[in-house]
Structure 1
């Protein structure tokens, strides 16, 4: 039986339901717990987060994939309590949002050390939580080009993925050639990689979508809802219709089975204000109605929110 690691144990893939594949319970940069302006008590974070997850469940959401990497506020015991409280499956990650978010202990580590660490979190557990990671997060440091540290992390992630059967999800899909080279050198099939943030404003023009598809990779349109129409849009925002048209053009070209969608929202941001008016539930309140209005049928929507992420997250070993 195919299975996926969640914070409350492995579950059959068939039980995932609709999946938000690139989200955050709470993301912050290292040191955000020392912030004085945006610091929140655990009670405040809980009060912000539980209603969003309950609403996600009410809309038909089944699984929330938290891709908050090591050093960025990942709190697996907290995720376990949220999952038990709301009935939402939560998948935790190992890995890093980008090399520049890795604290010195990890930044100085060898590929072999990082590989062992990722494998341990996938097969044994994260710290003493007893919960195993279900996806590996990697990313490109600021500047838009992979650093030597990024490359070490990517190589370790590839080795851990091959060893455990858990997939890789990237933060940003720009500069993919070095990443693809590493994955191929390590024998990792590209259908086990989801190249993320291929749709945001700054990076969509620089992402070679069809080049990635042709090599078997998957692409994440996972910043849905970050729109220039927001009251105070972030720098990575994009006009709503432009993103939708871009996405539909790839569906119409026959790439449906290699596309995944998400909102990359923070339930309760750590050390920064977050983006007002944007939550994981954009997928249900806005994206699905937009797709239907554009003529997308329910079978295609099911493929995007259920079938594709289930196939991606399934442990293959």
Structure 2
């Protein structure tokens, strides 16, 4: 809907998806939902988010994965929730051949255009750049090209970078350093999921200047049909609390990585962005985290991260 002053972002869910699907998911006759079905499923979740006090959702859905900015604009008008759209890719393995074959310079130009001019003909601009590690747990050569292009676009525009996974971070940090990108402009995401947490050197990343996203809260092994990246609720919370206790509060951001309406796959029942208000914040309070620190996690840190740097 336009540029948002940082002080008006409010409580931020920094890594979510209005809708997400792999390329070609619209051809899946079993799980694909009509626009009307998706709208009916999404509006109540965003309205509840707003009623709980939520101000902003960062939609981390990249190019080729169901990003629909006109849809976001309609939802924002309907619910009062700010939605920050992204440019970039969830990972190299989600980039269609046109982009997978492209040079760093071309990819950077696409990202810069979507940030400074707009996404397609929507008139809306991206506020964050998405990059990610492809399947397999190691950055591919395509991933590295995308990360380098994202770094150049971030330096040129002042818009931050949000990553899918924080495993194999050394090549990413090397690329960001080579491109002159301050690492506090990068949020290394999914550091908390059950599949990758043990292989994510969160404290080392923060020692290099990066930010860490505990953004899969709610994907718990206690769910009736947990996904493969689920993690025991207490284990994730204890991990998060341990990092806070070690003095990393200002480097941490939290979210639920929920899909308001998954595209081309069934999704996870019982998990929404509102886990942040219904479960996570009460868990933090019960563990002794005070209101000032909760504000730091969900208001101050996201506002600082999302601010467009000069």
Compute the TM-score of the two structures, normalised by the length of structure 1: 0.98
SS of residue paired to 2:14: strand
Deviation at 1:175, TM superposition (A): 0.1
Residues 38-71 of structure 1, C-alpha deviations (whole Å, 9 max, x = no match): 0111100000000000000000000000000000
Alignment of 1:201-212 (within 5 A): 201-212=194-205
Residues 222-265 of structure 1, C-alpha deviations (whole Å, 9 max, x = no match): 00000000000000000000000000000000000000000000
- Look up the match of 1:97: 90
Take 1:102 and 1:41, find their aligned partners in 2: how far apart are those partners?
Answer: 24
1:47 aligned to which of 40, 48, 54: 40
Take 2:101 and 2:4, find their aligned partners in 1: how far apart are those partners?
Answer: 35
RMSD across aligned positions (CA): 0.3
- Look up the match of 2:117: 124
- Which ranges of structure 2 fall in alignment gaps of 5 or more residues? none
SS of residue paired to 2:87: strand
Take 1:121 and 1:39, find their aligned partners in 2: how far apart are those partners?
Answer: 27
- Look up the match of 1:110: 103
- Look up the match of 2:237: 244
- Look up the match of 2:214: 221
Are 1:162 and 2:155 matched, yes or no?
yes
- Look up the match of 1:23: 16
Take 2:270 and 2:130, find their aligned partners in 1: how far apart are those partners?
Answer: 26
Alignment of 1:138-157 (within 5 A): 138-157=131-150
Are 1:63 and 2:60 matched, yes or no?
no
SS of residue paired to 1:260: strand
SS of residue paired to 2:247: helix
Take 2:133 and 2:289, find their aligned partners in 1: how far apart are those partners?
Answer: 33
- Which ranges of structure 1 fall in alignment gaps of 5 or more residues? 1-7
Deviation at 1:11, TM superposition (A): 1.3
Deviation at 1:210, TM superposition (A): 1.0
1:10 aligned to which of 3, 6, 10: 3
Take 2:66 and 2:6, find their aligned partners in 1: how far apart are those partners?
Answer: 27
SS of residue paired to 1:11: coil
Provide runs of 4+ in structure 1 moved above 4 Å. Answer: none
SS of residue paired to 1:10: coil
Residues 282-314 of structure 1, C-alpha deviations (whole Å, 9 max, x = no match): 000000000000011000000000000000000
Residues 86-143 of structure 1, C-alpha deviations (whole Å, 9 max, x = no match): 0000000000000000000000000000000000000000000000000000000100
Take 1:40 and 1:283, find their aligned partners in 2: how far apart are those partners?
Answer: 26
2:188 aligned to which of 190, 195, 211: 195
Are 1:136 and 2:129 matched, yes or no?
yes
- Look up the match of 2:254: 261
SS of residue paired to 2:159: coil
Residues 127-179 of structure 1, C-alpha deviations (whole Å, 9 max, x = no match): 00000000000000100100000000000000000000000000000000000
Are 1:301 and 2:310 matched, yes or no?
no
Compute the TM-score of the two structures, normalised by the length of structure 2: 1.00
